[in-house]
Amino acid sequence: MADILRREFIYLWYYFDVQLRQIFGYWAVGILLGSCVSVFLKDKIHRMFRSMGDSRLGLAGIIPASLLGIASPLCMYGTIPLAASFSRSGMREDWLASFMMCSILLNPQLIIYSTALGTAALAARLISCFLCGICAGLLVRAAGRKKPFFHFDGFEEPRSYDTDPNSLLRLVKNIGRNVKVTGPYFLLGILLSALFQRYMPADLMTEFFGGNEAFGVLMAATVGVPLYACGGGTIPLLQAWLAEGMTMGSATAFMITGPSTKITNLGALKIVLGMKHFLLYIGYVMAFSFLTGMIVNLAV
């Protein structure tokens, strides 16, 4: 029994070590870039979005709003209080929807992580995130302005922890917090990837996420809801799944539903949206991820 356990440990360590060597550099660079954006560019990005309120871009404003959402380094918990502040300053709700949607789906740090999946997966993630933000803005605009779409009562301006007067110390402290928050999920993702590679037959992965493309995309979109915990933690899983037969469309669907329906954040979204709009949001995310995944499968 001891020999069997020792052998299994060696196998798991091999898969863990290989995966860690493959993506550790992407994670480290992502941490550094994310912290640099948070410390030196975050306020500028948010000021740029706030200044759009004085422009006359109209419907076209959802395009820069989506791009600024991607550039924002905040997670959903930081995005919602910030969006509350934007709303109180008179920001248009369609622009706000595009900004929030893209900010929830992607950030500069996650972009770097995603390069570990290859250029095709990175392009699919960037384009699908941008289009998801655009469509969210269009739908909110189509809903009309009879009643407010968002309800931000009780959400205050997010607290900034980057307050040290020394810019280098601000950066070091931000990197430390970043590592503390994302590190455990990153290692957990590698461990889960090692377990999948050791004990999950490749043909079974192909059956779930590859063979029947429509079924695979639907499965990936559904699995993304309960499984997603942290962007960095899912990269090792996606890398292993793609290597074992997952289609690019299924991966794209997972990358949309995962962050947008992250279990720990849905409570805050329900408060902001209200029950009716919350259910519409879930339906929109699932439908968009499925359709996008099918289109990506046809394109690649």
What does 2-43 look like in DSSP terms, one character per residue? HHHHHHHHHHHHHHHHHHHHHHHHHHHHHHHHHHHIIIIIHH
- 159 in helix, strand or coil? coil
Write down the pLDDT at residue 203. Answer: 67
Write down the pLDDT at residue 205. Answer: 65
Residues 49-101 pLDDT 10s: 888 877 778 889 999 999 999 998 877 767 888 888 888 888 899 999 999 99
Q: Which residues contact 284 (CB under 8 A, 6 or more apart)?
A: 135, 136, 139
Write down the pLDDT at residue 199. Answer: 81
CA distance readout (Å), 253 to 113, 229, 294: 17, 16, 9
Write down the pLDDT at residue 128. Answer: 97
Counting Cβ atoms within 10 Å, is residue 138 exposed (0-12), middle (13-18) or buried (19+)? middle
pTM of the model: 0.88
**Can you list the residues of the chain whose pLDDT is less than 50?**
none
Alpha-helix runs per DSSP H in the chain: 2-36, 42-51, 62-71, 76-88, 93-105, 108-114, 119-142, 167-199, 202-209, 213-227, 231-243, 248-260, 263-299
- 163 in helix, strand or coil? coil
